Amino acid sequence: MHTEAINHDPAVTLINTGSMQLGNASLGAWLSYGLGSENENLPAYMVLLSQGTGKNPGQPIFSRLWGSGFLPSEHQGVLLRAGADPVLYLDNPTGISRSQRRSQLDTLAALNQKFQTHADDPETAARISAYEMAYKMQTSVPDLTDLSDEPDDIFDMYGPEARRPGSYAANCLLARRLIERGTRFVQLFHRGWDQHVSLDLQLPRQCKDTDQPSAALVNDLDQRGLLDETLVIWGGEFGRTSFSQGAIGSPTAGRDHHGRAFSIWMAGGGIKPGVYGSTDDYCWSVEKPEETVHIRDLNATILHQLGIDHNRFTFQYRGLDQKITGVEHAHVVKDIVS
């Protein structure tokens, strides 16, 4: 992998939206716009956050990373929080029954639809859709987050943290449940990877957070017959240098940002097993220029595996046919797809 971004915020914005500039649509929003959802009772795009045991607190995560940008707002990601209130403002106010809420929404939808007929405002249509989705989620979300029907061997597969709400392991398990229910795009953010110092202490902890649950998610999807139709992507916005930041052997030493050559892994969804690409002897750059995979190429490949031609998948905004792959050249990495 290769990216020009050298700091976290522009780099994580680039890998999520295809651009380092703010205001663009995230990949999940693009896929919601293009493919919709297979479950009318849940959003097409769901997001889960966790804080790792490495660097705490980790780098900040902003909601614009799962935003819809210039796309209709109904395609933005919905954050699923840990605890008793997974989605904010979903419950009815005290004293309001479900039938009363239904009546209120019907009246509000009629008013909004009347306005929409005259204004032809896509955000009014998105608001109608959002209210309806929230009503449906009042029953679908509690069913989703109730893990009492998961057997002990599944919790054991995902690891000891799987029973702790908000952990990476618990979020992996919820991701599988979302995929089972037809959610189109599920995104997990796990903070705590920025080891400029104390790498020997922090990085093993961070890896322990993620290694077993990530493998469990892939195996769980596979044993349920879902892996061949689910594309799992694991990675970050850039890599780290192969040389030390600080005195070698020092307990405070770490590694700096490095975007010229870094790795991700993918599984399922028609991806071949094996390793693609290599670095030079100093791990500074990709060894063969023809094997360089830019963020644009990764997004083009993801869309290809979902049946979408990135060059034709556009949205008109500011005089351009906007694309998740941008205006520069991008290609599908055909050597990794079956």
Angle CA 216–219–220, to nearest 5: 80
Is 226 within a domain? yes
Q: Is-contact 184 26, C-beta < 8 A? A: no
Q: What is the pLDDT of residue 129?
A: 87
Is 201 within a domain? yes
Is 3 within a domain? no
Is 45 within a domain? yes
Is 1 within a domain? no
- Torsions phi, psi for 21 (to 5 deg): -85, 145
Q: What is the pLDDT of residue 142?
A: 92
Q: Which range marks the domain in which residue 80 is found?
A: 8-336
Is 2 within a domain? no
Q: What is the pLDDT of residue 270?
A: 96
Is 13 within a domain? yes
* Residue 190 burial class via C-beta count within 10 angstroms: exposed 0-12, middle 13-18, buried 19 and up: buried
Per residue in 157-215, pLDDT (tens digit) is 999 999 999 999 999 999 999 999 999 999 999 999 999 999 999 999 999 999 999 99
Assigned token pair, 198: 């104390």
**Which residues of the chain have a pLDDT value below 70?**
none
Q: What is the pLDDT of residue 262?
A: 96
Q: How many structural domains compose the chain?
A: 1
CA–CA distance, 91 with 319 (Å, rounded to integer): 41
Per residue in 39-79, pLDDT (tens digit) is 999 999 999 999 999 999 999 999 999 999 999 999 999 99
Q: What is the pLDDT of residue 291?
A: 93
